[in-house]
């Protein structure tokens, strides 16, 4: 299965029964993060992931936006004239098609995820497997775990080994999220109005720079898609490979679901997504997720999302790797705790 199904996707779900915070075994990551607030569920399921952005590691009543991007760092981008023959909608449609095709043939990887939430930073090693993802916490605020913290983490992994049903539930959840994310990503060419602004330098290559605004003629097929009506911004698509390589989006208006009773996102929220081609993994991988969103759940519950994630050090693992073998790999000593 595709282990990183939830990466790079962002969504909103409701209703749910309980008020709690739940995350996948690798913690707050692009795979799947659920913020449950008395019937309101904010979901970050990272896969362009959304990923691991976004978005998006609640099917019946969901509001979600699946936004995909990546960036190549380099010198300041000098804009040049773009060919008038380029159809921006066709360009986005092709980039989305390539993303969905790669999803089906994805090869599992091992990678490092650093997440900053306020003044708290965690570093985790994550391995994708045919049974779903597994992860190990290796550092907090750039420092290796204490002996007590390390033992707690080992006990957690041992418990996961002893209860395969927990991993199976996670795997099924990832598959369901993947199906929702693919559906939302497939709407992107039609949910926005795109305009070709020109060409920009993306490191050593060129990218099409497109602006986008909500398409007023887009009819949302379900509650999940409502959030697509609220975002505007820019997307960069690499010229030769036609890959989505960067997305900067912001909410241009307040987005309400269920007439604002179920949930609301405030105008002005921002989302930044980046990805790059990982040479060792031989695939495009999500690398950056930044979110700054606020709103209300059920009219009274305040929602504030401040996330900064960086994924790196991608390397391939065997396609038939099981979660037990991945745990054995993760339990070996790591030097990542002291790396910045």
pLDDT at residue number 302: 85
Greatest mean pLDDT among 46-55, 146-155, 221-230, 296-305: 146-155
pLDDT at residue number 103: 78
DSSP 61: S
Q: What is the mean pLDDT of residues 148-173?
A: 93
Domains of the chain, by residue range, sit at: 10-338
- pLDDT band with cut points at 50, 70 and 90 for residue 28: very low
What tens digit of pLDDT does each residue of 272-327 get? 988 888 888 888 888 998 988 888 877 778 888 888 999 999 999 999 999 999 99
Tokens of 301: 């519950």
For residues 317 and 211, what is the distance between their CA atoms, to the nearest angstrom?
37
- pLDDT band with cut points at 50, 70 and 90 for residue 91: very high
Q: What is the mean pLDDT of residues 237-255?
A: 91
Residues 6+ apart with CB under 8 A from 3: 106, 108, 109, 127, 128, 129, 130, 132, 133, 174
Q: What is the mean pLDDT of residues 260-281?
A: 84
Q: What angle do CA 188, 50, 164 make, to 5 degrees?
A: 130
Please give the mean pLDDT across all residues of the chain: 75
DSSP bridge pairs for 273:
247, 289
Whether the pLDDT of residue 18 is over 70: the answer is no
Q: What is the mean pLDDT of residues 39-59?
A: 34
More confident residue, 86 or 129: 129
What tens digit of pLDDT does each residue of 58-69 get? 322 233 333 333
283: helix, strand or coil: strand
Give me the percent of the chain exceeding a pLDDT of 70: 71
Tokens of 331: 């339990």
For residues 323 and 136, what is the distance between their CA atoms, to the nearest angstrom?
12
Which residue reads 């550092």 in tokens?
139
- pLDDT band with cut points at 50, 70 and 90 for residue 261: low
Give pTM, 2 decimals.
0.71
pLDDT at residue number 150: 95
What tens digit of pLDDT does each residue of 163-222 get? 999 999 988 888 888 788 788 788 889 999 999 999 999 878 899 999 999 999 998 887
pLDDT at residue number 202: 85
Q: What is the mean pLDDT of residues 25-48?
A: 35
pLDDT at residue number 130: 93
pLDDT at residue number 113: 95
**CB 54, CB 68: distance < 8 Å:** yes
pLDDT at residue number 20: 35
Q: State how far the alpha carbon of 210 is from the alpha carbons of 86, 191, 228, in Å.
A: 11, 14, 17
- DSSP codes joined into one string, 23-75: EBTTBSSSS-EEEEETTEEEEE---------BB----SSEEEE---------S
First-to-last alpha carbon distance for the chain, in angstroms, is: 31
pLDDT at residue number 36: 34
Q: What is the mean pLDDT of residues 12-24?
A: 36
**Number of neighbouring beta carbons within 10 Å of residue 217:** 8
For residues 243 and 68, what is the distance between their CA atoms, to the nearest angstrom?
10
Residue 181 CB-density burial (10 A; 0-12 exposed, 13-18 middle, 19+ buried):
buried
3-state secondary structure 307-323: EEEEEEEEEECCCCCCH
């Amino acid at each position: 299965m595709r282990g990183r199904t939830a990466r790079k996707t962002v969504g909103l779900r409701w209703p749910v029964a309980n008020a709690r915070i739940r995350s996948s075994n690798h913690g707050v990551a692009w795979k799947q993060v659920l913020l449950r607030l008395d019937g309101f569920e904010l979901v970050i399921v990272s896969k362009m992931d959304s990923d691991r952005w976004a978005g998006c590691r609640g099917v019946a009543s969901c509001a979600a936006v699946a936004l995909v991007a990546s960036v190549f760092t380099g010198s300041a981008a000098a804009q040049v004239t773009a060919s008038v023959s380029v159809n921006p909608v066709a360009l986005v449609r092709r980039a989305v098609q390539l993303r969905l095709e790669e999803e089906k043939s994805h090869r599992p990887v091992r990678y490092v995820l650093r997440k900053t939430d306020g003044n708290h930073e965690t570093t985790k090693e994550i391995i994708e497997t045919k049974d779903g993802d597994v992860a190990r916490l290796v550092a907090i605020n750039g420092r290796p775990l204490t002996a007590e913290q390390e033992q707690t983490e080992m006990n957690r992994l041992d418990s996961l080994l002893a209860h395969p049903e927990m991993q199976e539930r996670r795997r099924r959840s990832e598959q369901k999220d993947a199906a929702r994310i693919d559906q939302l990503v497939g709407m992107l060419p039609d949910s926005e109005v795109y305009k070709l602004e020109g060409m920009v330098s993306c490191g050593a290559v060129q990218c099409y720079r497109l602006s986008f605004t909500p398409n007023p003629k887009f009819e949302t097929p379900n509650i999940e898609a409502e959030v697509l009506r609220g975002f505007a911004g820019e997307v960069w698509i690499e010229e030769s490979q036609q890959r989505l390589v960067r997305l900067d989006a912001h909410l241009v208006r307040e987005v309400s679901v269920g007439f604002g009773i179920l949930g609301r996102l405030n105008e002005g929220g921002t989302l930044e997504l980046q990805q790059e081609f990982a040479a060792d993994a031989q695939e495009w991988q999500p690398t950056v997720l930044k979110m700054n969103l606020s709103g209300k759940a059920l009219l009274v519950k305040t929602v504030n999302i401040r996330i900064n994630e960086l994924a790196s050090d991608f390397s391939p693992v065997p396609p038939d790797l099981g979660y037990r073998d991945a745990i054995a790999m993760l339990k070996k000593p790591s030097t990542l705790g002291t790396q910045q």
